[in-house]
Amino acid sequence: MLPVVLITTVNAEGAVNAAVKTNFMTVSSMRSYAFCCSTSHHTHRNIMETGEFVVNVPTEDILREVLKAATITEDPCPAGVNEIGSAGLTSIPSERVRPPRVKECVAHYECLLDWHKEALIVGKVVAVSVDESLVNRTDSRKMVVVGGGRTVNHYGVICETKEWPQILI
């Protein structure tokens, strides 16, 4: 099962881009994140131009808007179209990078490009913002994951968190 994230970038002129990614992973204790992105996509080109991106973590309640951001127009989406606003989501300024965060998402990882090889992009986290309700566990929203379904039309949600068992030595 892989998490669904929304990657935001800007190009050299400052035009905002948003792309849904499902091939996303933590690289080292939430200090670095990696994902794959076709080298022909705006997301990849923008990161190569600016060296910055934001990983926005959505929840199931905004899944329709997140998916709309991925399918605003024909593929590929024309440069300069702001998928965030067009999908009914809200851009908010980031703390340390130029690409915006998505207000409706529950966590944001602002990243600087650490390294890349072809389609693989690894970013070093330079700022984190997390909805307080996740920290104090009062949030009932569920993170969205892909995989584990019987067809491509299925997705999953993270429904429960548990404490790691004590290991007796």
Full pLDDT tens readout for the chain, 169 residues:
667 899 999 999 999 999 999 888 888 777 999 999 999 999 999 999 999 999 999 988 888 898 888 775 444 556 667 789 889 999 999 999 999 999 999 999 999 999 999 999 999 999 999 888 766 666 666 666 555 455 556 556 555 556 666 765 5
CA dihedral sign, ordered 76, 82, 88, 90: positive
CA angle 113-117-123, nearest 5°?
20
Q: Which residue has the tokens 């400052």?
A: 14
Query: Which CA distances in Å does 14 have to 8, 42, 49?
Result: 12, 13, 11
Q: Identify the structural domains of the chain with CATH numbers, from first to last.
A: 2-158 (2.30.110.10)
If residue 66 lies in a helix (H) or strand (E), which one and from where to where? helix 63-70
The strand pair at 120-130 and 2-3 is best described as unpaired
Name the phi and psi angles at 102, rounded to 5.
-105, 115
